Amino acid sequence: MSVTKKKIILFDLDGTLIDSTEAILESFHYAFEHFALKTPDDSLIVAQIGYPLDSMFIALGVSKENVWDFVSKYKEHYRKISRAKTFLLPQAKEAVEEASKIARLGIVTTKTALYSKELLEYMEIMHYFEVLIGREDVINPKPNPEPILKALSKLQSDTNKCWMIGDTCMDMNAAKSAKVHSIGVTCGYGSQEQLSKCATIITTNAFEAVASISCY
């Protein structure tokens, strides 16, 4: 293996490589309507994207006692529509292709791993990734470092050769706690202002982030 290939690049999904906003919003509407509750404003839902589904529903007013019923209904609908209403972000495929030339790749997401793999296979980029860590694979999701550390354990790599690319401070804080390098991207759900509080390197998208990593 070459020296450059000893690098590890971990990607977040929503807001970093893919845009599934429409599918997420529609699935939240479906769950709230199923239980005859008023659906929160879309802006409030979008503000929670990146957190695990149970945390999102609780933040939107669902009780802890009922939250898994809502999550179940959400997933029931999401799986039906996710392929048709999820898209690769501009230059995301190119970012993954370029990253694969200089590093081994992984996905670290709070989305369900099963659905994430199905989406990436449909988009014909799953084969670039050696590992995918989703919500069901860990006890403590981002911003806890557990998902990143689990990915690294599967890749048998130490932290000083690893980069995390993500669009929120959850990604950046998880990377910091895991003692890995990180780059924030502004193409997703975290604003430049928000990312400036937690990221030392900020680019407009994953492709530019990969280009920055190639210089190290």
**How large is the angle between the packed helices 67-81 and 21-34, nearest 10 degrees?**
130
pLDDT at 79 over 80: yes
| 54 is an active site residue | no
pLDDT tens digits along 82-92: 999 999 999 99
**Is there a common fold for 4-19+87-214 and 21-81?**
no
Write the DSSP string, the chain.
Answer: --SGGGEEEEE--BTTTEE-HHHHHHHHHHHHHHTT-PPPPHHHHHTTBTB-HHHHHHHTT--TTTHHHHHHHHHHHHHHHTTTT-EEPTTHHHHHHHHHHHEEEEEE-SS-HHHHHHHHHHTT-GGGEEEEE-GGG-SS-TTSSHHHHHHHHHHT--GGGEEEEESSHHHHHHHHHHT-EEEEETTSSS-HHHHTTT-SSEESSHHHHHHHHHT-
Contact 38, 210 (CB under 8 A): no
Res 160: pLDDT: 83
Instruction: Name the superfamily (CATH) of residues 4-19+87-214.
Output: HAD superfamily/HAD-like (3.40.50.1000)
Contact 152, 162 (CB under 8 A): yes
pLDDT at 4 over 80: no
Say how far apart CA 207 and CA 98 lie, in whole Å. Answer: 8
pLDDT tens digits along 111-137: 999 999 999 999 999 999 999 999 999
pLDDT at 1 over 70: no
Look at strands 18-19 and 181-185 and give their pairing: unpaired
Say how far apart CA 113 and CA 62 lie, in whole Å. Answer: 24
pLDDT tens digits along 138-174: 999 999 999 999 999 999 887 788 999 999 999 999 9
Provide the terminal-to-terminal Cα distance of the chain, rounded to the nearest Å.
Answer: 17
Domain boundaries, the chain: 4-19+87-214, 21-81
Say how far apart CA 125 and CA 169 lie, in whole Å. Answer: 25
What is the pLDDT confidence band of residue 215, given thresholds at 50, 70 and 90? confident
Per-residue CA distances from 199 to 34, 96, 111, 122, 181 (Å): 39, 21, 22, 31, 10
pLDDT tens digits along 16-69: 999 999 999 999 999 999 999 999 999 999 999 999 999 999 999 999 999 999
Q: Which fold has domain 21-81?
A: DNA polymerase; domain 1 (1.10.150)
